[in-house]
Amino acid sequence: MFKVLRLVLLLFLLLPALFVAVTVGLAFYTLENEPLVPEKPPVNYATIVAGKELLKRVNRQIESSHKGQITVVITETELENLARMGAHTFDWFSAESKFDSSSIHSSVSLRLPPNPAGDYFNMSVQLDESSEGVHIDRVTIGPADFSGRWLLPLMARIGDVVLQDQQATLLLGSVRGFQLDGSTALLSVNPPPNAKAHLKRAVRKLQASRFPAAEQARVVHYYDLLAGMGNQWRHSHLSFNAYLTPLMAEAQSRGELGSAVDENRAAMWAMAIYFSNGAFEALLGKLVSSDHRLSRSPEYVTLGGRQDLMLHFIYSAGITLATQEGIGYAAGEFKELLDSGDGGSGFSFADLAADRAGIRFVEAATASEPDARQLQQSIVNYNSEKAFFPGIEGMSEGLSEAQFRRLYGSTEAEEYGHQVRLIDERIARLWIYSAPGG
């Protein structure tokens, strides 16, 4: 009996080591150095609109189902748009789907942190037509190929743990089957009770998972401060500094009991969402509006005396922050959004200065706890936009493409690089960066 107990105890102690060994072995076998799905071109607004229209259409169908079975129609192009939106949101993710006469073939590549086993996790799945639910018939992970009937139930169980209330299992079980008609998939769905509430809760959980713990509550707090100031000063012509200084004072106060970096980051998320009137949030996710009514920002808030420069500063700060968070963004989308308000006014070095000032601000605000606290103190002490925003005098603006090429060649040319260095020098001389301790 003693020998049996000793053997059981020995096996129990060896289990963790065995688990680690198996995991490492599988990693070296399945991970690869090249992605199965290549990176896609950056999404544009048409892609985002098309993807969101699909989700809205499905949502409307579910809302009108009244406990009856519905047929959800998804085309190959729409599925591709969703995949590109996923890659747009998470830059470590890429996916694609192809339809044939009776199957959908989907592939996913996940870029991993540097490791000796391989840079990518690659997986392909095959879904065949079915009148009895939806099943993955074959799955390939790296070089391994096997039956995939277990995969969707496993993913649903994992989803239940993450989303809670068995939401994932309920949603998977609601799909009764699907057929293919050319490049169109027809899914027979019997939505579960309260399907809309389940979907909304799942979306909120997924959005929240993209940000650090308690981030949403912090962002909402700063957003409410901005909205309150905006209501009070709605018809006043004010510098953006009138909003930034109180926000940094609040971040300084709250950061004394926690993280100054976290408070700065949340304040900047709130600024990007508030002053874009929700346009930034539409690309980021419903960080505020998921359970909060958005307010319209005042029209007379400026930097350097201009609203467009204020927007360039804030949007560039938001893009930089999103990049730090690992959320994929195509900078061209934001440029398109900003330029749409410029009336096609041409290239502007003043705009570029505002962009680079926003980037530098985020770098200083989130570099480290001491840097974050120093920036808060500097903004509060100086209380002027001259502390963080460079002068734009002498900067060329309104250049047509032909004028830009004649004067500067391209963005790779030496003369253009010289102008950028001059801008960066102006930013480096700003008080919050050049003062002792700043």
Instruction: Report the Cα–Cα distance between both ends of the chain, in Å, rounded.
Output: 71
User: What's the pLDDT tens digit per position in 317-340?
Assistant: 888 887 776 554 444 344 444 444
| Phi, psi (deg, nearest 5) at residue 329 | -135, 145
Neighbours of 53 (CB within 10 A): 12
Task: Supply the pLDDT for residue 328.
Answer: 41
Using DSSP, state whether 24 is helix, strand or coil: helix
pLDDT at 142 over 90: no
Residue 189, SS3 per DSSP:
strand
Confidence at residue 239, expressed as pLDDT on a 0 to 100 scale: 96
Tell me which residue has tokens 């076998």: 29
CB atoms within 10 A of CB 221: 15
**Helical H segments across 276-306, by residue range:** 279-284
Q: How many other C-beta atoms lie within 10 A of the C-beta of residue 138?
A: 17
Q: Judging by DSSP bridges, how do beta strands 184-189 and 238-239 pair with one another?
A: unpaired
Question: Position of tokens 């544009």?
Answer: 44
CA diameter of the chain: 91
Long-range CB contacts for residues 150-158, cutoff 8 Å, separation at least 24: 151/125
User: How far is Cα 430 from Cα 391, in angstroms, rounded to an integer?
Assistant: 10
Summarize pLDDT for 267-302 with one digit per residue, the tens.
999 999 999 888 777 656 677 887 788 899 998 999
Complete edge-to-edge strand list for the sheet that includes strand 120-128:
93-99, 103-111, 120-128, 138-141, 144-147
What is the rounded CA–CA span in Å between residue 151 and residue 142? Answer: 15
What pLDDT does 192 receive?
66
Report the run of H or E that residue 75 belongs to, with start and end: strand 70-75
309: pLDDT strictly greater than 90: yes
Q: Looking at residue 123, what is its pLDDT?
A: 87
Domain boundaries, the chain: 31-192, 215-434
pLDDT number for residue 62: 66
What is residue 8's predicted lDDT score, i.e. its pLDDT? 47
Give per-residue pLDDT as tens, 3-29.
Answer: 444 544 444 555 455 445 555 555 566
For residue range 51-76, list pLDDT tens digits in order.
667 777 777 776 665 656 778 788 88
- Please list the residues that pair with 32 across neighbouring strands: 120
- C-beta neighbour count of 222 within 10 angstroms: 25
282 class by beta-carbon count within 10 Å (0-12 exposed, 13-18 middle, 19+ buried): middle
pLDDT of residue 60: 73
Cα(430)–Cα(387) distance, rounded to whole angstroms? Answer: 6
**What's the rounded Cα separation, in Å, for the pair 280 and 286?**
10
- Structure token pair of residue 149: 């009937």
Most confident of the following: 49-53, 88-92, 236-240, 344-348: 236-240
Q: What is the pLDDT of residue 47?
A: 66
126: tokens are 């095959």
- The per-residue pLDDT for 66 is 60
Q: What is the pLDDT at residue 234?
A: 87
Assign 3-class secondary structure to 327-376.
Answer: ECCCHHHHHHHHHCCCCCCCECHHHHHHHHHHHHHHHHHHCCHHHHHHHH
**Residue 105: exposed, middle, or buried by beta-carbon count in 10 A (0-12, 13-18, 19+)?**
middle
Please give the structure tokens belonging to residue 387: 């502390």
| pLDDT value of position 9 | 47
Q: Which of 7-16, 180-189, 419-428 has the lowest mean pLDDT?
A: 7-16
Separation between Cα atoms, residue 344 and residue 362, nearest integer Å: 28
Residue 174, pLDDT above cutoff 80: no
Residues in the chain: 438
- The pLDDT of residue 83: 80
Residue 415 has pLDDT above 80, yes or no: yes
Mean pLDDT of 378-396: 93
Strands 238-239 and 301-302 turn out to be parallel
CA-wise closest residue to 350 among 401, 314, 318, 309? 309
pLDDT at 265: 92
Q: Does position 227 have pLDDT exceeding 90, yes or no?
A: yes
Alpha helices, DSSP H, located in 126-259: 151-163, 167-173, 195-209, 215-232, 241-255
Type of residue at 266: A
Structure tokens at 147: 């039956």
CA angle (82, 209, 21) in 5-degree steps: 95
CB-based contact 268:365 (threshold 8 Å) = yes
Determine the average pLDDT of the residues in 178-183: 83
Who contacts 82 (Cβ-Cβ below 8 Å, separation ≥6)?
51, 54
Q: Is the pLDDT of residue 370 over 90?
A: yes
d(CA 206, CA 365): 27
